[in-house]
Structure 1
Amino acid sequence: MYPIISLSVTGLLTLFLGFSENKKIVFPASIAFLLIALATAFIDWNAPGFYFNDMLQVNNTSIVFWAILIISAILIMGFSEGFERFEFAQPAEYFAIVQFSLVGAIMMVSFKNLIMLFLGIEILSVAMYVLTGADKRNIRGNEAALKYFLMGAFATGILLFGMAMFYGATGTFNIGSGVFIGGDNSFFLWIGCTFMLIGMLFKVAAAPFHLWTPDVYEGAPTIFTAYMSTIVKTAGFVALFKVLSTTFSGLQDFWWIMIAVLVTLSLMIGNIGAVSQNSFKRLMAYSSISHAGFMLLALLGDHENALGSIMFYSVVYTLATISAFGVLMVVSKERIEKGRVYEQNDLFKGLAQNNGFLATVLIIAMLSLAGIPLTGGFWGKFFVFRDAASSGLFWVIIMAVLMSAIAIYYYFKPVLLSMSKKTSLESITINPLAKFIFAITTFGTIVLGIFPWILRSLF
């Protein structure tokens, strides 16, 4: 609970810092505020409890996910230093909205009541709509923000309708160890489960509710694309797990069929759609859809292991994604075409010759996203495959393995381009903070690829 209070207060303080004549203070202050929120998260360690009239549950599991979300935000915001002069007129607004959005993400992983889940989703979603259109001079970004908002509004309506059906069937918004199935409430529970799944799967970009993803990823400023592809996905899947494993655990024979179909669609659309992409951000958008399919696999297995698998997959996917988008941010600012940064795949041509450090970071990130051994991404896929195998869903696993083979093709596109001998870029400089973040994400990817149980043993 303490990070919610901390981030709410520091978000307001960040807005007031925007009135300061010295704009340079906003960035270090915002990082410090996030570090304070991270520290306060562990006040409740080994002290489980309920807050806000039992609508919010705090335990060690939720605290671990709080830490993952806040650390991810710190790593992403580390790339913001100096970017405000290119894309953002008021950096204080951006940093404040990021802090407010984390409040929503924290509520999504800690809710004990569907009303609290809805508040968390909306706090996070509204912040993402605003941040997507943060670069007001970018027409493509404005269009992406409008598309995201309109489609998100429909998804919110569908989610609320599902919650209303659940309330009508049970008379409560509280989640528990399952609900009574049978009698007159069965039909309403089926409707409620279906519509709530649709609303939540939109947030994690699972097919066929993914249509917003490529345009929004491409149109949003790259730093916010990295944010929504990591933090939003992590919070969304934890919330989805809690809903299915508690609220609708008695309906597992009903919803697992839908999840299996959605896994198939997400993997096929995500991986096949990425093959033809020339834009790196659109490639990563379709990659995000495919990874949503892999994370959904964990929900089809044993619930005792599923949360741990989701946690591990979220961490390794976040590390690799931050590395990939971070390299794109650093490299793309060196090449401006028609007043905008260049973000096509061939931007990385000759990167190894130009800057070996950045090329190494990019290559390791792509290998991890592809699930190559000795990277964290390999074990992330291994754990979700193991969970699916425990339920006997071998046909889904076979299809997922085939889609992983296709993924190697498009993930190796930027890898091969980076090792080309021809480059159109001048010498690339990296500020020390960005270099430090790259070191953390790359080292974490390798360590978790060699010693996965360091993290997996937490659950």
Structure 2
Amino acid sequence: MLPLVLLSVFGIVNLFLGFLRSNRVLMPFVLVVLALVFGLNLLDWNHAGSITGLFDSPYISQMLTVDNYSVAFSGIVLLTALVLLPFSRSYVAAGEPNLAEYYSLLLFSLVGAIMMVSYNHLIMLFVGIEILSISMYCLAGSDKRNVRSNEAALKYFLQGAFATGILLFGMALLYGATGTFQLSELAAAIAAPANQTLQPMLYVGVLMMVIGIGFKVSAAPFHFWTPDVYEGTPTFFTAFMSTVVKTAGFAAFLKLLVVALPAASPVWLPTIAAMCVLTLLLGNIGAAVQSSAKRMLAYSSVSHAGYLLLGLVAGQGKLSGPAAQGIFFYSLAYSIATVAAFGVLKLVADQRQREDYAGLAGLGRTNPLLAFVLTVAMLSLGGIPLTGGFFGKFFIFTAVAPVNIWLVVFAVVMSMVGIYYYLRPVIAMYLRPAEPGVPQTPIVVDSFQSITLVILAALTLILGILPGFLSGLL
């Protein structure tokens, strides 16, 4: 799997580039690497197979697979990283001495994300989660002079360690009940009549794995770390965390439930449904009462985990079914809009030193482009028609409706709550007067960042106008 190899190698090469003590070469290098890996990933489309050629060992072969499902979700995480990178220009301009390390950690985290969407063996799932998580622990505390960043890293690490322990215990119980970590063999062993005597061990293992992965994707009631960690982490890395981690987490979650645990659905299906309701409720209500735009986006990320959990409820089929299609489209639309929102917020926070709604006041007059892009992003996250977010919700709802119509009704009600808090930044930008002490000079945006913002807004609108272009991709 060439993308994994290249990301690993270039991540190490980038560390050596840091010895040049010149940040100007780092961003172009990483951009070229990401563009190259993204293109090579697309070349694997319709070339399904397992990773057997790299190693001649029965213990390693068949642990990772390349198929359209893995290529599609790998494409989302690589594209997200590619369009997010221009918003790290402030680190370049400030001469950040650790920039090479930051970029390398991002490349290594993408290795973990790709492993999570390509795994065919529970050990590979665990390795992918840990590579991604450890990189995020480090990046959450990257602003060492900021107490909030240190607090975010400590909370994320400690709670993540507990969640990892629960996940591993669940894997051990599954292995004890079935004797295998291979996904297809797990499915056959769980469905076998001879396994009925081990059902208690099996079901506890399934629930513990659901809890462990639920933490990684910010699903309630395992979401308590999310607002504080997102708020304390530097905004650039928060955007990466809320998009790449969530996309990889739900792709791995869906594969686990659909491929390995379909016969255990009487156990995990009610649990996922309950988590979905709780996540939608706490995420939307929590976002509605925030005064900080960044903290609002943190709770918003929790609410979007609830909508993606809806897709898992409907995911009792193949990885190419309506549920997988809905999760793929939703993840893409959500990632693009979230990068745009955090990108604008980072530019405002860097120059106005404010992350609340007051910092956005007057932006419609001083920076029409930033205001327009943030408006498009908020409308997409709120699920307004003619944006990608609308069809993301539409595909998820239509997949779930035949399974549980009441969950769809509840999700629609929660979407209405979401419209309220997504319109608050728009109102602040266009209608709210500036508060005393908040600078009203135009935000400086370089041409590269402006082009990226225009591309993100255009992609959001294209997904809302021509959804059929990608809706049947898987």
Same fold by TM (over 0.5)? yes
Counterpart in the other structure of 1:457: 472
Alpha-carbon offset, residue 272 of structure 1: 0.5
Q: 1:321-367: per-residue Cα shift (whole Å, max 9, x none)?
A: 011001001112221xxxxx321121111110111111110111111
Counterpart in the other structure of 2:55: none
Alpha-carbon offset, residue 421 of structure 1: 5.9
Contact persistence 2:23–2:92 (CA under 8 A) = no
Please give the alpha-carbon distance, in whole angstroms, between the structure 2 residues aligned to 1:196 and 1:213. 19
2:26 aligned with 1:26, yes or no? yes
SS of residue in 2 equivalent to 1:198: helix
Alpha-carbon offset, residue 44 of structure 1: 2.9
Query: Which region of structure 1 is more displaced relative to structure 2, 435-444 or 163-172?
Result: 435-444
Counterpart in the other structure of 2:239: 226
Counterpart in the other structure of 2:223: 210
Counterpart in the other structure of 1:180: 190
Q: Map 1:98-117 onto structure 2 (within 5 A).
A: 98-117=106-125
SS of residue in 2 equivalent to 1:4: helix
Of residues 376, 379, 382 in structure 2, which corresponds to 1:367? 379
Of residues 182, 187, 196 in structure 1, which corresponds to 2:209? 196
For residues 309 and 212 of structure 1, do their structure 2 counterparts lie closer, same or farther at Cα, with a shift above 3 Å needed?
same
Q: 1:195-239: per-residue Cα shift (whole Å, max 9, x none)?
A: 000000100001000000000000000000000100000000000
2:249 aligned with 1:236, yes or no? yes
Of residues 318, 323, 330 in structure 1, which corresponds to 2:347? 330
Amino acid at match of 1:104: G
2:25 aligned with 1:12, yes or no? no
Counterpart in the other structure of 1:351: 363
Q: Map 1:74-223 onto structure 2 (within 5 A).
A: 74-86=82-94, 88-176=96-184, 177-181=187-191, 182-223=195-236
SS of residue in 1 equivalent to 2:442: coil
Please give the alpha-carbon distance, in whole angstroms, between the structure 2 residues aligned to 1:95 and 1:85. 15
Please give the alpha-carbon distance, in whole angstroms, between the structure 1 residues aligned to 2:21 and 2:265. 57
Counterpart in the other structure of 2:430: 419
Contact persistence 2:340–2:374 (CA under 8 A) = yes
Q: 1:92-123: per-residue Cα shift (whole Å, max 9, x none)?
A: 00000000000000000000000000000000
Alpha-carbon offset, residue 61 of structure 1: 2.1
Counterpart in the other structure of 2:331: 314
SS of residue in 1 equivalent to 2:50: strand
Amino acid at match of 1:458: L
Counterpart in the other structure of 2:455: 440
For residues 234 and 308 of structure 1, do their structure 2 counterparts lie closer, same or farther at Cα, with a shift above 3 Å needed?
same
SS of residue in 2 equivalent to 1:333: helix
Amino acid at match of 1:434: Q
Please give the alpha-carbon distance, in whole angstroms, between the structure 2 residues aligned to 1:26 and 1:241. 35
Counterpart in the other structure of 1:385: 397
Please give the alpha-carbon distance, in whole angstroms, between the structure 1 residues aligned to 2:375 and 2:444. 18
Alpha-carbon offset, residue 179 of structure 1: 3.4
Please give the alpha-carbon distance, in whole angstroms, between the structure 2 residues aligned to 1:330 and 1:283. 17
2:35 aligned with 1:35, yes or no? yes
Contact persistence 1:218–1:282 (CA under 8 A) = yes
Alpha-carbon offset, residue 67 of structure 1: 1.4
2:261 aligned with 1:279, yes or no? no
Please give the alpha-carbon distance, in whole angstroms, between the structure 2 residues aligned to 1:63 and 1:372. 29
Amino acid at match of 2:77: L
Counterpart in the other structure of 1:266: 279
SS of residue in 1 equivalent to 2:245: helix
Please give the alpha-carbon distance, in whole angstroms, between the structure 2 residues aligned to 1:145 and 1:168. 34
Query: Which region of structure 1 is more displaced relative to structure 2, 217-226 or 399-408?
Result: 399-408
SS of residue in 2 equivalent to 1:83: helix
Contact persistence 2:284–2:414 (CA under 8 A) = yes
2:77 aligned with 1:69, yes or no? yes
SS of residue in 1 equivalent to 2:117: helix
Counterpart in the other structure of 2:44: 44
Contact persistence 2:23–2:95 (CA under 8 A) = no
Contact persistence 2:388–2:461 (CA under 8 A) = yes
Please give the alpha-carbon distance, in whole angstroms, between the structure 2 residues aligned to 1:440 and 1:64. 20
Contact persistence 2:77–2:110 (CA under 8 A) = yes
Alpha-carbon offset, residue 184 of structure 1: 1.6
Please give the alpha-carbon distance, in whole angstroms, between the structure 1 residues aligned to 2:338 and 2:190. 41
2:271 aligned with 1:249, yes or no? no
Contact persistence 1:34–1:70 (CA under 8 A) = yes
Amino acid at match of 1:160: L
Alpha-carbon offset, residue 396 of structure 1: 1.2
For residues 421 and 256 of structure 1, do their structure 2 counterparts lie closer, same or farther at Cα, with a shift above 3 Å needed?
closer
Please give the alpha-carbon distance, in whole angstroms, between the structure 1 residues aligned to 2:36 and 2:406. 47
State the aligned residue count: 453
Of residues 383, 396, 401 in structure 1, which corresponds to 2:407? 396
Contact persistence 1:179–1:250 (CA under 8 A) = no
Contact persistence 2:220–2:278 (CA under 8 A) = yes
Amino acid at match of 2:189: V
Please give the alpha-carbon distance, in whole angstroms, between the structure 2 residues aligned to 1:433 and 1:178. 52
Please give the alpha-carbon distance, in whole angstroms, between the structure 2 residues aligned to 1:204 and 1:146. 18
Alpha-carbon offset, residue 45 of structure 1: 3.0
Alpha-carbon offset, residue 90 of structure 1: 1.1
Q: 1:394-418: per-residue Cα shift (whole Å, max 9, x none)?
A: 2211111111111111111101000
Counterpart in the other structure of 1:297: 310
Please give the alpha-carbon distance, in whole angstroms, between the structure 2 residues aligned to 1:32 and 1:122. 26
Counterpart in the other structure of 1:338: none
Please give the alpha-carbon distance, in whole angstroms, between the structure 1 residues aligned to 2:336 and 2:431. 25
Amino acid at match of 1:399: F
RMSD, matched Cα: 1.3
SS of residue in 1 equivalent to 2:65: strand
Query: Which region of structure 1 is more displaced relative to structure 2, 143-152 or 304-313?
Result: 304-313
Please give the alpha-carbon distance, in whole angstroms, between the structure 2 residues aligned to 1:269 and 1:65. 27
SS of residue in 1 equivalent to 2:252: helix
Alpha-carbon offset, residue 36 of structure 1: 1.9
Alpha-carbon offset, residue 5 of structure 1: 0.2
Please give the alpha-carbon distance, in whole angstroms, between the structure 2 residues aligned to 1:246 and 1:178. 10
For residues 53 and 227 of structure 1, do their structure 2 counterparts lie closer, same or farther at Cα, with a shift above 3 Å needed?
same
SS of residue in 2 equivalent to 1:19: helix
